[in-house]
Amino acid sequence: MSQAPATDQRFILDHIIDFAEISRTDRFTDATPDMVTAILEGAARLSDEVVSAVNRDGDLVPARLENGVVRASKGFDRAYRAIAEGGWVGVSAAADYGGMGLPHVLATCVNEMLAGACLSLQLKPLLSQGQIEALEHHAPEDLKALYLPKLISGEWSGTMNLTEPQAGSDVGALSTRAVPADDGSYRISGQKIFITWGDSDLVPNICHLVLARLPDAAPGVKGISLFLVPKYIPDAAGNPGLANSLRVVSLEHKLGIHGSPTCVMEFDNATGWMIDGPGRGMAAMFTMMNNARLGVGMQGVGVAEAALQKAVAFAQERVQGKTPDGSKAIIGHADVRRMLAEARAQVFAARVIGLSCAKAIDMASATGKASWTTRAALLTPIAKAFGTDTGIEVADTCIQVHGGMGFIEETGAAQYLRDARITAIYEGTNGIQAMDLVGRKFADDGAAALTLIGEIGLAAGAAMGRLPDLATAVANAAGALEDATGEMLAMEMNDRFAGAVPYLRAFALVLGADAHLRAALADPGRLPLAKVMILRLLPACRGLLDTATAGAAGLYAVPVEALG
H helices, E strands: number in the chain: 21, 11
Look at the alpha carbons of 236, 237, 238, 241 in this order and tell me if their dihedral is positive or negative. Answer: negative
Instruction: Decide: residue 87, CB within 10 A, 0-12 exposed, 13-18 middle, 19+ buried.
Output: middle
Q: In Å, how far from its chain's centre is CA 159?
A: 16
Is 156:206 a contact under the CB 8 Å cutoff?
yes
H-state helical runs in 318-429: 334-367, 370-402, 413-420
Rounded distance, CA 179 to CA 510, Å? 50
Instruction: Decide: residue 553, CB within 10 A, 0-12 exposed, 13-18 middle, 19+ buried.
Output: exposed
Catalytic residue status for 482: no
Rounded distance, CA 401 to CA 394, Å? 10
Is 195:161 a contact under the CB 8 Å cutoff?
yes
Sequence-distant (≥ 6) Cβ neighbours of residue 281 within 8 angstroms:
211, 212, 224, 225, 226, 275
Is 298:231 a contact under the CB 8 Å cutoff?
no
The catalytic position among 427, 455, 492, 561 is: 427
Is 100:152 a contact under the CB 8 Å cutoff?
no
- For residue 166, give the DSSP letter: T
Is 207:230 a contact under the CB 8 Å cutoff?
yes
Q: Which three-class secondary structure state does DSSP give residue 233?
A: strand
Q: Is 208 left (phi over 0), alpha (psi -120 to 50) or beta?
A: beta
Q: Which three-class secondary structure state does DSSP give residue 508?
A: helix
Strand 177-180 with 240-243, pairing: unpaired
Rounded distance, CA 564 to CA 561, Å? 6
Q: Closest Cα to residue 400, out of 384, 385, 416?
A: 416
Rounded distance, CA 95 to CA 27, Å? 11
Q: What is the rounded end-to-end Cα distance, in angstroms, of the chain?
A: 43
SS in 3 state form for 99-113?
Answer: CCCCCHHHHHHHHHH
Look at the alpha carbons of 438, 439, 444, 445 in this order and tell me if their dihedral is positive or negative. Answer: positive
Is 303:350 a contact under the CB 8 Å cutoff?
no
Q: Closest Cα to residue 504, out of 444, 440, 551, 436?
A: 436
Rounded distance, CA 317 to CA 96, Å? 51
Rounded distance, CA 179 to CA 214, Å? 6
Residues marked as catalytic: 427
